[in-house]
Amino acid sequence: EYFAFSASAAYQFSDTFQAYARYTSGKKAPDFGILSGITTPAAIATIFPSAEKIQQIEMGLKYRNDGIFIQVFPFWSKNSDIADNQTFTYKAGTPNAGVNYSPPPVFGQVETYGIEISGDFDVTRQLNLHADLTLQNPKSSGFSTYTQGPKGDGTDDIVSTVPKGTADNNPKIIARATATYRPVETLSLFATYSYLGKR
């Protein structure tokens, strides 16, 4: 059980310009692969992971005027208590030879600063251009990795801390642009270009 909340404040400066700020705090279930490997009362009592924590602060600036709509969203987010799971097989000669096991999970976090920019422009009554761009700098810390010990029975596995650095599977650049052409009211033609940075 947990409590999640989001609080925001918005202000309209004029008919064309408004801004807001928001803070969010929540939690989410750990990776299902970790939960599915916890199958005994002893494991539940000793290694059951906590819920992941999510915090986010974002601001929004919005401008709309005469067929132009531009939005800018600076943001900060932190996802902590992320459990990392590894699976090994008990080696031959041990009581549980051939059976898979997972050492107790280790926990890390990913912290991200970034900005999202969105623009929508009616070139003519028939042609609309829309673009979204996200620039972010995701950093990971606190993650660790196990190496199975020589005994292969789970008693001498070694854990090593992974150095702080760029977070895996979090691209630094995400972009999408779409052109929509509507020659008549009942027909729309569109083309989209998408780019996803290194993951």
Whole-angstrom Cα distance, residue 112 to residue 173?
13
Q: Given the structure tokens 């290694």, which residue do they identify?
A: 47
184 HSE (CA, 13 A, CB side): 2
Band (pLDDT 50/70/90 cuts) for residue 29 is confident
Chain center to CA of 168: 10
Higher pLDDT residue, 39 or 14?
A: 14
- pTM for the full model? 0.79
Secondary structure element (H or E) that encloses residue 33, with its range: helix 32-36
Secondary structure element (H or E) that encloses residue 68, with its range: strand 68-84
Whole-angstrom Cα distance, residue 17 to residue 112?
27
Model confidence pLDDT, tens digit, residues 127-185? 999 999 999 999 999 888 898 988 888 888 988 888 898 888 889 999 999 999 999 99
Whole-angstrom Cα distance, residue 151 to residue 20?
58
Band (pLDDT 50/70/90 cuts) for residue 11 is very high
Band (pLDDT 50/70/90 cuts) for residue 96 is confident
Contact (Cβ atoms closer than 8 angstroms) between residue 108 and residue 74:
no
Report the percent of the chain where pLDDT is more than 90: 56
CA torsion angle 86 49 143 53 (round to 10): 140
Model confidence pLDDT, tens digit, residues 50-81? 889 999 999 999 999 988 999 999 999 999 99
Tell me what pLDDT residue 46 has.
Answer: 75
Handedness of CA 29, 173, 23, 15 (dihedral sign): negative
* Residue 97 bridge partners (DSSP): none
Q: Given the structure tokens 């208590």, which residue do they identify?
A: 81
How many Cβ atoms sit within 10 Å of the Cβ of residue 184? 7
pLDDT, average across residues 189-199: 93
**pLDDT, mean over the chain:** 90
Tell me what pLDDT residue 40 has.
Answer: 75
